[in-house]
Homo-oligomer: A and B are copies of this chain.
Amino acid sequence: MGKNLTKRSDDYSKWYNELVVKADLAENSAVRGCMVIKPYGFAIWEKMQAELDRMFKESGHQNAYFPLFVPKSLFEAEEKNAEGFAKECAVVTHYRLKNDPDNPGKLKVDPEAKLEEELVVRPTSEAVIWNTYKNWIQSYRDLPIKVNQWANVVRWEMRTRLFLRTSEFLWQEGHTAHETKEEALQETELMNDIYAEFAENFMAIPVVKGSKTENERFAGALETYCIEALMQDGKALQAGTSHFLGQNFAKAFDVKFATKDGGLEHVWATSWGVSTRLIGALIMTHSDDKGLVLPPNLAPIQVVIVPIYKGEEQLEQISEVANELVKDLRAVGISVKYDDRDTQKPGWKFAQYELQGVPVRLAIGPKDLEKGTVELARRDTLTKEFINRDKVVEKIRSLMTEIQEDLFNKAKSFRDEHITEVDSFDEFKKVLKQKGGFISAHWDGTPETENKIKELTKATIRCIPFNRKDEAGECVLTGKPSEGRVLFAKAY
């Protein structure tokens, strides 16, 4: 229960790990680095999927499905992409097990069932998809292609953390093909904007939109746009990326199209994705020492009703009221659970739903029956009030919006207070150590300086914000000229 949860101020990392498990979101599995997403955690992912899928379709994208495996020869075709992912690939080499003669009841890899060509378990699908697009694209009439896939991917990670970094994770990956550079750049920006809108309006997570430096770009991209969020411990988290791939994959896979005026050109590409990592961002943006805090949009259960009673007769009377409320709330589209289990005490239930972040809790006891009231508790503010029974539905409807907005505003205030402009490297180090958050500083534009700062402070450039001011300045490390500030932070 919440009482046993480590305090954030004591050990933020431990708090996070405990919370994910105690709130029944996910757990480690027997497979190194792979997690089990439990029903409560998966229900949150389903809500995210439904909303993103709606946004993708409304912006003209369709879903499809491409193979899990990438033959090695395709994997290595786009050199930078291959180089970027080669070190973390799970590789299938055989297609059969057989009885192990030395160990009765055990199996071993059948050496006679070795694949002619090894198969990489997809760490991302550009290779297999562009090899497919080659056959789909002949002329400008076949363009644009705007396809998304919901899938699992595998990147072999040495140090893993539930949701934030796992060897297998779930994500969506969009892959689009365009006639012109301009159109591809527009798509890259559009999808980054959609991610930002989703993060802010649906997840109540404020984000900074910007582009990545060369160091931090996706392997094989000419440009990576991103949304960057700030966690409560002052570390940044990349919440989504959208890549302009130029003609790199079209060239690697020889994808050309007949242009309107009779020419033959390579196709322009984008790809973009968000993953179950967003659940980590959700947790670390809103939750507190008592457990999860979920924005109503993402809460699998928005309202829980707990009866407080002695004896069967009281329970029956309370249940009558509760069931009526359940019906009325469901009728207006609010998901509600009435927990009348007699195996647990009300106090236990209160702690449980606090831990699991249910936005609103209603309690109904004998006195409420007399007075025609219910006790309403908000998870985010931990405040309580009594409400007349006939006002409950109206109150909860408005609360759903109010809580959603309050969570966003609270997170935004925190984020805004943690963007600090600094103009010297001493200040940079001091702010990073004492306050954390985003550090807005001038940078000379070179990877060398970026690497040096990373080496000295562990902070990296999270993004070059799209909305930064034109402001000439001097690099915080080298003193060389800079055109504008970038955002540094330590990051997940």
In the complex, chain A residues 225-249 whose Cβ is within 8 Å of any chain B Cβ:
none
Asked if A97 meets B72 with Cβ closer than 8 Å, knowing A30-B128, A121-B121, the reply is yes
Bound form: Cα–Cα A35–B64 in Å: 11
Task: Report whether A105 and B90 are in contact in the complex, using a CB–CB cutoff of 8 Å.
Answer: no
* Distance (whole angstroms) from the CB of A367 to the closest CB of chain B: 30
Is A186 part of the binding interface, using a Cβ–Cβ cutoff of 8 Å?
Answer: no
Is A164 part of the binding interface, using a Cβ–Cβ cutoff of 8 Å?
Answer: no
Secondary structure class of chain A's binding surface, majority of residues: mixed
Note all chain B residues with C-beta closer than 8 A to A443: none
Note all chain B residues with C-beta closer than 8 A to A118: 109
* Distance (whole angstroms) from the CB of A132 to the closest CB of chain B: 5
Binds B, one of A80-88, A192-200, A287-295, A356-364: A80-88
Task: Report whether A107 and B64 are in contact in the complex, using a CB–CB cutoff of 8 Å.
Answer: no
Is A68 part of the binding interface, using a Cβ–Cβ cutoff of 8 Å?
Answer: yes
Binds B, one of A36-44, A368-376, A405-413: A36-44
In the complex, chain A residues 51-105 whose Cβ is within 8 Å of any chain B Cβ:
62-72, 74-76, 79, 82, 86-99, 105
Is A430 part of the binding interface, using a Cβ–Cβ cutoff of 8 Å?
Answer: no
Note all chain B residues with C-beta closer than 8 A to A88: 95-96
- Count chain A residues whose beta carbon lies closer than 8 angstroms to a beta carbon of B: 65
Note all chain B residues with C-beta closer than 8 A to A170: 65
Note all chain B residues with C-beta closer than 8 A to A45: 65
Q: Say how many copies of this protein the assembly contains.
A: 2
Considering residues A63, A65, A82, A147, which has the most beta carbons from chain B within 10 angstroms of its beta carbon?
A65
Asked if A66 meets B29 with Cβ closer than 8 Å, knowing A75-B107, A89-B97, the reply is yes
Is A46 part of the binding interface, using a Cβ–Cβ cutoff of 8 Å?
Answer: yes
Task: Report whether B109 and A91 are in contact in the complex, using a CB–CB cutoff of 8 Å.
Answer: yes
Note all chain B residues with C-beta closer than 8 A to A68: 34, 121, 152, 154, 168
A contacts, CB < 8 Å to B: 27, 29-31, 34-39, 42-43, 45-46, 62-72, 74-76, 79, 82, 86-99, 105-107, 109, 118-121, 128, 131-132, 135, 141, 147, 151-152, 154, 156, 168, 170, 343
Additional A-B contact list (14), CB under 8 Å, known A39-B147, A86-B98: A29-B132, A30-B71, A30-B128, A31-B67, A31-B69, A31-B128, A37-B64, A65-B170, A75-B97, A86-B97, A88-B96, A90-B92, A92-B93, A96-B156
